[in-house]
Structures are given as structure tokens and as C-alpha cells.
Amino acid sequence: MSNVRPLIVGWNDLRKMGWPYSRAHTWRLMRDTITVTRKIRGEKRRVAEVLPNPDIFPTCAKLGSHRNSPPVWRVSDVLAYFEARGLAVTQDWQAP
């Protein structure tokens, strides 16, 4: 039996690797900017601010042109992100 590592992973494979966040939060982490609302002291209104995202998750690609095509990520980018942030990766992804 050969031990072949895939070049891309889908959402379910990302979860098997140990990714703890939901799909919605994953899409938020892939954005370049973050929109934050803050309350101004002494006033009732809130102000929206756009801040650069300090911790960008690797962007995904879609293999098809239709909107329901599942997102995929490159394994090397995901593993590099996990190692840089100290996230534990399951043992079956560590094997050569």
C-alpha cells in the first residue's frame, strides 16, 4: 500500500487535519481586511473601522466555475500556517 499525500485538501480534510474553526470564520480569516465596529464614548452611535488582517489564512481556490464548487487549499500552505501558529496537526498528515 502506497502512502500518497494529496496536494490539495477540501473542507472535510481540513477538519481532519485539526482545523478548529467553522466555515464562516474560515472565510473571515481569509480576507485582507477586518471590519470592526466601535462605540464612541459619550454617544449612542457606532463607527465602523476597517483594519488590516494580521493573521491571514491561506486563500482557497475552486476547481469548478459554478458557485457550488467546493473550496480547496494547498496542503503545503495549510501546514505552514499550522506550524507558524502552533496548531497541532493530526499524526496521519505528518507521515511522509
Instruction: Report pLDDT digits (tens) over 29-56.
Output: 999 999 889 888 888 888 899 999 998 9
Quick one: pLDDT band at residue 93, thresholds 50, 70, 90? low
Share of the chain above pLDDT 90, in %: 46
**Higher pLDDT pick, 22 / 44:** 22
Share of the chain above pLDDT 70, in %: 90
Kindly tell me if the per-residue pLDDT of 86 is higher than 90.
no
Residue 9 near residue 75, CB atoms below 8 Å: yes
* Residue 37 backbone dihedrals phi, psi, to 5 degrees: -105, 135
pLDDT given at position 1 = 46
